[in-house]
């Protein structure tokens, strides 16, 4: 009986997970206490803001009449830029896998997008599209090569023997995509999406700080910097983190659902 009890305790993921929570919470509290102590020792609101003053500034910003308009505008710009780059990168990768000439044609452009400094894109886009659309275009250009390169690698990772078998049995093209290509490229696509989501928010907010479109979180950050309102700068940074996490969780949840096995349906249809 003791042996059974011991095996049950060790093998229970729920118990192991619950045992980790006090440790994680304790570590976070220690860091917050160290941060607050440092703030009190420095005692300079321009240089550093502690958790207490940060929460106060955060409540003030959320309570403003235009808070949701500002946050929604930045969220939509970055989300549109990312979704456009995601769709374009995937379709281009699929086309490049199918047509070698298209791959060779796209290669110089993708290399340029990966190597050109981000600030160069910002300056050029300010000239070409103006500050209001800067965030969308910059997020698009930064994310596109990441999605394209990884998705193309995923298509190339498809099982050759399975493809040969599909050709022999004349499996429909949509079935080849769902049951052979999809399991091959989805891990690559999901991994690149996690990286791209972070990059889109970093580049998007940077574009807003430089271009200061109205309304935008970047404009509020620039104003906080100009007036030495460090607490507000920290507050908007927290808001950006929260919005990016929400967007990432929602998008990755969608990809996870699309990555579910579909083996039970392989016999349906032609």
Q: Residue 55 pLDDT more than 60? A: yes
Q: Residue 17 pLDDT more than 60? A: no
Question: pTM to 2 decimals?
Answer: 0.86
Q: Are residues 25 and 125 in the same domain?
A: no
Structural domain contains residue 148: yes
Q: How far is CA 176 from the centre of its chain?
A: 29
Structural domain contains residue 24: yes
- Helix (H) / strand (E) element for 175: namely helix 173-176
User: Model confidence over 75-85: pLDDT tens digits?
Assistant: 999 999 999 99
Q: Are residues 222 and 124 in the same domain?
A: yes
Give the mean model confidence (pLDDT) for residues 24-53: 88
What mean pLDDT is reported for the chain? 88
Residue span of the structural domain in which 228 resides: 55-265
262 vs 101: which has the higher pLDDT: 101
Q: Are residues 123 and 184 in the same domain?
A: yes
Query: 103: buried, middle or exposed (CB in 10 Å: 19+, 13-18, 0-12)?
Result: middle
Least confident of 81-90, 142-151, 169-178, 244-253: 169-178
Give the mean model confidence (pLDDT) for residues 190-217: 94
User: Model confidence over 95-108: pLDDT tens digits?
Assistant: 999 999 999 999 99
Residue 137 has what pLDDT?
95
Query: Strand locations in the chain, DSSP E?
Result: none
Structural domain contains residue 171: yes
**DSSP letter, residue 264:** G
Structural domain contains residue 48: no
């Amino acid at each position: 009986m003791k042996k059974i009890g011991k095996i049950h305790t060790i093998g229970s993921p729920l118990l192991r997970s619950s045992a980790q929570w006090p440790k994680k919470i304790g570590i976070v509290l220690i860091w917050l206490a160290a941060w607050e102590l440092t703030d009190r020792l420095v005692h300079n609101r321009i240089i550093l803001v502690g958790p207490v003053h940060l929460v106060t500034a955060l409540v003030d910003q959320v309570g403003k009449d235009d808070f949701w308009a500002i946050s929604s505008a930045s969220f939509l710009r970055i989300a549109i830029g990312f979704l456009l780059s995601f769709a374009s990168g995937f379709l281009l990768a699929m086309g490049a896998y199918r047509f070698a000439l298209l791959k060779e044609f796209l290669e110089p452009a993708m290399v340029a997008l990966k190597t050109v400094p981000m600030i160069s894109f910002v300056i050029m886009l300010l000239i070409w599209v103006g500050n209001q659309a800067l965030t969308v275009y910059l997020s698009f250009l930064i994310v596109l090569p990441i999605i394209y390169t990884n998705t193309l690698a995923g298509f190339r990772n498809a099982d050759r023997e399975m493809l040969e078998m599909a050709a022999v049995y004349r499996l429909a093209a949509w079935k080849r995509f769902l049951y052979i290509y999809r399991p091959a490229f989805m891990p690559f696509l999901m991994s690149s999406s996690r990286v791209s989501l972070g990059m889109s928010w970093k580049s998007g907010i940077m574009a807003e700080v430089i271009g200061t479109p109205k309304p935008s979180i970047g404009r509020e950050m620039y104003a906080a910097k100009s007036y030495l309102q460090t607490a507000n700068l920290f507050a908007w940074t927290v808001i950006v983190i929260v919005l990016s996490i929400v967007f990432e969780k929602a998008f990755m949840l969608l990809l996870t659902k699309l990555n579910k096995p579909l083996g039970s349906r392989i016999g349906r249809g032609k």
